[in-house]
Amino acid sequence: MSWYRNTVWFVKGLREYTRGGYESASKRFNPADVEVDVAGRSFLVTGANSGIGKAAAKEIARRGGTVHLVCRNKERAEVAKEEIVTETGNQNIFLHIVDLSNPKEIWKFAEKFQNEHKLNVLINNAGCMVNNRELTEDGLEKNFATNTLGTYIMTTALVPLLEKAADARVITVSSGGMLVQKLNISDLQSGSGPFDGTMVYAQNKRQQVVLTEQWAKAHRNIHFSVMHPGWADTPAVRSSMPDFYERMKNSLRTEAQGADTVLWLAVSAEATKLPSGLFFQDRQPVPTHLPLAYTHSPPEDEEKLMEMLEEFSQKFKSVSPG
């Protein structure tokens, strides 16, 4: 049935995920939802030096928030920080250099961050789509290390800090691609069979949806959400999906349009009136499964995913320096 799921997802995407889909959906948006002052609130955005992460960080900075940019590349990150400060006039922009594919680095960063800062909102935006199977220095498949384990460690390590905050939120940027994947806990690092980077990425994004649902059950004082930004014209799309980009470039959303729901989930009072743990697109909750797609997982598989990630996480925490 994979051909069916892929076809349904692509046709659905042609209608909803493009710039035209955003423009249609935005007619029902209430501009006042995001016309808010968030001075005094602290936001951490991963992967914030370009694309949706930078666009979201910039809009939060415009509204007076203190923004922590977590980026891998120091040079590009410094350029992004300078751009955000210049365009918004907000000086409360801080830069942290962390490789989200390196779990030991994430632990070290999170432990230090908790001792020095407060945090109201965590935005898990960093991600990668590596089209050939690559291993990190820790022997982890790179997509899994960044998209799933990195997101898991960053979030769980900062939950104690978020628990202390008023109106705490965690937003994770997923993808509609996850709709074609059923959770597969038997091969988390894609070591068996042919390697398809696009499908590995989609599996990671399905895992992020499951993580969000599980976290929402476990941490009632924090509002968790996961979202699909639509198909946006970002550097990541251009480099990781060049064929897709060439075919769709005239219909892709802008980075700001892709980041709109991230901003809404991060700052709007309306967002937290909805239950924690939902999957959003264009400021509204949407289903996490296509009709007849057979992508539902038994609860024990979802619980097992959390157990496996916790085991990975603790393994790297135990050898974390500092």
Residue positions annotated with a catalytic role: 201
CA-wise closest residue to 9 among 235, 1, 236, 171: 1
DSSP summary character for residue 64: T
Contact between residue 168 and residue 43 where contact means Cβ atoms under 8 Å apart: no
Q: Which residues partner with 281 through β-bridges?
A: 284
Whether the CB-CB separation of 206 and 199 falls below 8 Å is answered with no
Residues 105, 99: contact at Cβ < 8 Å? yes
Helices within the chain (DSSP H only): 2-16, 19-25, 51-62, 74-88, 103-116, 142-143, 151-163, 197-218, 235-240, 242-248, 255-267, 299-318
Rounded Cα distance, 166 and 315, in Å: 31
**How far apart (Å, rounded) are the C-alpha atoms in residues 60 and 70?**
15
